[in-house]
Amino acid sequence: MLKIENLCKTYPNGTQALNGVSFEVEEGEFLAVIGLSGSGKSTLLRCINRLIEPTSGKIIWNDLDITAATGKEIRFIRRQIGMIFQQFNLVKRSSVSTNVLSGRLGYVPTIPSLFHVFSKDDHERVKKTLDMVGLADKIDVRADSLSGGQQQRVGIARALMQEPKMILADEPVASLDPVLAHSILKYLEKLNKDYGMTVICSLHFLDLVHRYATRAIALNEGRLVFEGLPKEIDDAQFKHIYGKEAERIEII
């Protein structure tokens, strides 16, 4: 169980991106995070694995205080949490296999890894995960020769290499067209349903939230303004989350 208590983040330039956010995520949930651009979704997700230092508040994961972890402990926590990004964040010039292998970095000893020496097991695992995301034949090509949807699948494969208990996905489909969006989210759904991984995923489109999430939270200017089931987001809630001016547009 992940418990967020009164989380605040103020950036050095004074922007208050998170303002006393508290909520809980049960194991095995698919939690959608929604909110306007700039509402603090990315900041929230990055605080959970401490890519961003929270200013105050607590993040407790299975009785482990993430906010109190230091150095080695943080890396130990991070390797159990896979992360998927809007811009895929692959090393474009490296091969697909190197990108996927880099998901093991939290597990392997430093010195061999610096010389690109990985165990046979790890190489086998690369093949298996790439098979799972349907990219087995692309193992040796350079990442930038893949299409956007394929690149995001490599991103998922990299996260899977970590054998994560939880997955953070920051607008994983915002750079993809609607059809690919579904195919990527289906992978996440599969990981959630079949492997019991907790998924926290920020999304832009409500229909995607309705289709995939088991629960949703909404942020507005760094505050939690909604917490509940996706179907509970009606027109009134919608205005509350997105502001009075907002119009509901349906996409696919």
Ligand X SMILES: Nc1ncnc2c1ncn2[C@@H]1O[C@H](COP(=O)(O)OP(=O)(O)OP(=O)(O)O)[C@@H](O)[C@H]1O
Distance set, CA 94 to CA 20, 25, 143 (Å): 40, 35, 6
41 or 79, CB closer to ligand X?
41
* 3, 82, 30, 68: CA torsion to nearest 10: 0
Question: Per this entry, what is the length of the chain?
Answer: 252
The C-alpha atoms of residue 94 and residue 92 are separated, in whole angstroms, by: 6
122 φ/ψ angles, rounded to the nearest 5 degrees = -65, -40
What is the number of the residue whose Cβ is closest to Mg ion? 42
Q: Which of 4, 33, 83, 185 binds other proteins (CB under 8 A)?
A: 83
Separation CA 17–CA 73 (nearest Å): 26
- Residue 151 Cβ vs other proteins, minimum distance, rounded to whole Å: 11
Pick one of 4, 29, 41, 133: the residue that binds ligand X (CB under 6 A): 41
Residue 49 touches which of ligand X, other proteins, Mg ion, none (Cβ within 5-8 Å per kind): other proteins
- Applying CB under 5 A, the site for Mg ion has a residue count of 1
User: Which residues on neighbouring strands pair with residue 95, listed in sequence order?
Assistant: 142
Residue with Cβ nearer other proteins (153 or 215): 153
Strands (DSSP E) contained in 62-120 are 64-65, 81-84
CB of 234 vs other proteins, minimal distance in Å: 35
Q: Which two tokens stand for residue 121?
A: 């097991």
Q: Which of 4, 35, 160, 218 binds ligand X (CB under 6 A)?
A: 35
How far apart are the C-alpha atoms of 202 and 169, rounded to whole Å? 6
- Please identify which residue in 39, 42, 152, 220 interacts with Mg ion, judged by CB under 5 A: 42
Place of tokens 């482990």: 64
* Cβ nearer to Mg ion, comparing 36 with 60: 36
The contact set with Mg ion (CB under 5 A) reads 42
Binding interface with other proteins (CB under 8 A): 49, 51, 75-83, 85, 87-95, 98, 102-107, 110, 113-114, 140-142, 144-145, 155, 158-159, 161-162, 168
Residues that bind ligand X (CB under 6 A): 11, 13, 15, 17, 35, 37-43
